[in-house]
Structures are given as C-alpha cells and as structure tokens.
Amino acid sequence: MAVLSIDNPFLEWMGVTLSAWSPGYAEMRLPTSPSLGNRTGRVQGGVICTLLDAVSGYSGLYSDPGEPPLHSVSLSLTTNFIDSGDGSVLVAKGYVERKGRSIYFARGEVWLDGSRLLATAVGTFKYRSAA
C-alpha cells in the first residue's frame, strides 16, 4: 500500500498516513497505541474527531500531480460515535457528497481494523487560497 504525502505537521506528529487519495475520496490510517487512549483504554474521542475532520476535508482537496495544491477550512463537523473496541489500526474514509465553487460537503467514517465502524461524520468545508 502506497503512503502519500499528507503535508500536515499535526497529522504527521499523530502518526496519521494518507493511504489513498483520488477525486472525491481520501483514506487515512492511524495505528492505535496507549498514548491515544482515554481512561477506559479505548481510543480517545478527540482522536477519532480529528481523523473524521481530516479525512472528510482531504476528500475534497485532491489535485492532479503538477497542479497547485488545494486548501480548505472546516466550517462544521457533526460526529456520531457508534461503537468502540480494541484493535491495531484506525482506518478513516472520506467522501465528497456535493461540491460547489467555494464550499463542499463531505462525510467520513472511522473503522477499527477495517471491520468495526466506530464513528461517522458529515462536514461543510470552504476552499481557501494557499497564501
């Protein structure tokens, strides 16, 4: 599996990798570790929210090689926690639902080991200039 450049210092610091990226879709992975846990030993909800925000946002930011990179800011993100569990890797998937000139709407999912759906989100994002 190829690892693509995520170009985001915070996500890199967390250990997030961008494993797939195409128009309207992004996929990120994050190995679980005790440092990501909450008091119950499960992955802390803020980590899951970060993944949902990032993968949903990146789903609308793909540009072809050689093209200028796209950037956006999150305007809203609604998260639903569905399940929890123990596992080795979080897999986040983001999908563009609708895209306009300056705003796009996306949804995200976080899966544990690719088989247990932990959380979903819907978000609104605004394109911005790189400067």
Nearest partner of 87 among 45, 42, 51, 48, judged by Cα: 42
Beta bridge partners of 91: 29, 111
For the sheet containing 17-22, what is the strand order?
Answer: 17-22, 25-31, 89-99, 103-112, 116-128, 71-81
Eight-class DSSP state of 70: P
Alpha-carbon distance values, 105 to 7, 73, 79, 109 (Å):
22, 12, 14, 14
* Each residue's pLDDT tens digit, 1-14: 566 888 999 999 99
User: What residues form DSSP beta bridges with 1?
Assistant: none
Question: Is the distance from CB of 51 to CB of 16 less than 8 angstroms?
Answer: yes
Q: Which fold has domain 9-128?
A: Thiol Ester Dehydrase; Chain A (3.10.129)
Average pLDDT of the chain to the nearest whole number: 94
pTM: 0.94
Going through 40-102 in order, the beta strands assigned E by DSSP cover 71-81, 89-99
Angle among Cα 15, 57, 17 to the nearest 5 degrees reads 20
State which amino acid sits at residue 16: V
* 9-64 pLDDT, tens digit each: 999 999 999 999 999 999 999 999 999 999 988 999 999 999 999 999 999 999 99
Domain locations in the chain as residue ranges? 9-128
Average pLDDT (96-118) is 97
